[in-house]
Amino acid sequence: MSRSVPTIGSIGGVPVRVHWSWPLITLALFGLLAQVYALDRRIESPLAAALLATVLLSLSLLLHELAHALVARMLGMRVHGIAMLALGGVTEIADEHSSAERELAVAFAGPALNLALGLVFSLALRFQIGPPAVLLHLALANWALALFNLLPGYPLDGGRALKAVIWFLSGQELSASRIAAWTGRVCGWALVALGTAFALVTGDLLNAAWIGVVGLFLSSRAMHGYRRLLLQRALRDVTAGSLMRRTFRAVTPETRLDEFAGNYLLGAAERGFPVVPQPDAEAPQRLLGMMTVRDLRRYSLSSWAHVRVAQAMTPAQRVRSLAPDMCGTDALQVLLESGEDLLPVLEGELLVGVLWRSDVVGFIQRKIAP
């Protein structure tokens, strides 16, 4: 889940983010249910029934992720938030306090919640508390969600549980993650094969394509999760301060843009430079801003001789920055979200270094190299 996905609010202190694809899928689900309920003469208002079913099913998906998040927090794990996507939700949990036992508890929390919701809706159906067709669909959907998520393939909950069990028995988290990722790919390609067979047997290309898309998504996310774990393991014991460059080039606010282009950018790998009062001073200085190629391009070539860096730079108040004690994983996340090649590292307002994305990537490659 990228933290760049818009946040719409929080539940129990857990930020909830919604990707643009989730409302589209929800709208498509509403349209499908409206058509189904229109064929049922026992339903007086198909649109109202479809709306109720869509809202409650969406709530079931959200509660599934919230169960993961709340159990993780109860066990002392740091939760970044929940993101709702087209093919379901993702709960972002930091792994720094993780263990096999905690991971197993968090993995089972979501499916257990769906099983409980399925029971609630089936009891409501039994005692006729609400539209029967809607309650039946909600009960079946929640049970199906629970069973699907219990498939033993990462990143599904069953795959996470499999990883936790192997981790507990072997004491090797990376090996357990590798096996869970492999089973995730197997499950994904099995779904692709199932979708293909479904299309050949029934001729229902739409549902077959949907099954295949889910399988491809599962297969790709399985290896992504394993690579993410490798990255976290490589960076969890380092900080932005230990990865940053303490020696770097900086520019003064009085520098003209033509001087900046000729003396700093021409023939250099850097595409951005900190702006400080005295670049040659040995003591840390207050960061005034960042001057990048993007800032330079906002001015015509003919104006470069008359415009100073102070006018063109991005002010320090608008610059993403890092703290020296920020953990390596979080520092890389901020770098990626900023879209910049480098970010300043600040102690208060004082510039103490710069962190390059390429330096972080190089460190990771050296760390995980065999």
Where residue 366 falls among pLDDT bands split at 50, 70, 90? confident
Q: Give the number of residues written for the chain.
A: 370
pLDDT, residue 7, reads 83
Cα separation, 100 vs 171, whole angstroms: 9
Q: What DSSP character marks residue 92?
A: E
- What would the DSSP string read from start to end of 7-21? EEEEETTEEEEE-TH
pLDDT, residue 4, reads 56
Cα separation, 357 vs 360, whole angstroms: 5
Share of the chain above pLDDT 90, in %: 56
Cα separation, 285 vs 288, whole angstroms: 9
pTM of the model: 0.74
Q: How far is CA 238 from the centre of its chain?
A: 22
Exposure string of 209-225, with b = 16+ CB inside 10 Å and e = fewer, is eebbebbebbbebbbeb
Where residue 204 falls among pLDDT bands split at 50, 70, 90? confident
pLDDT, residue 1, reads 47
Query: What are the pLDDT digits (tens) for 228-242?
Result: 778 878 888 899 999
Query: What are the pLDDT digits (tens) for 30-54?
Result: 998 999 899 888 888 999 999 999 9
- What would the DSSP string read from start to end of 236-297? TT-BHHHHSBSS---B-TT-BHHHHIIIIITT-S-SEEEE-S-TT-SS-EE--EEEEHHHHT
Q: Report residue 114 as tokens.
A: 């769906």
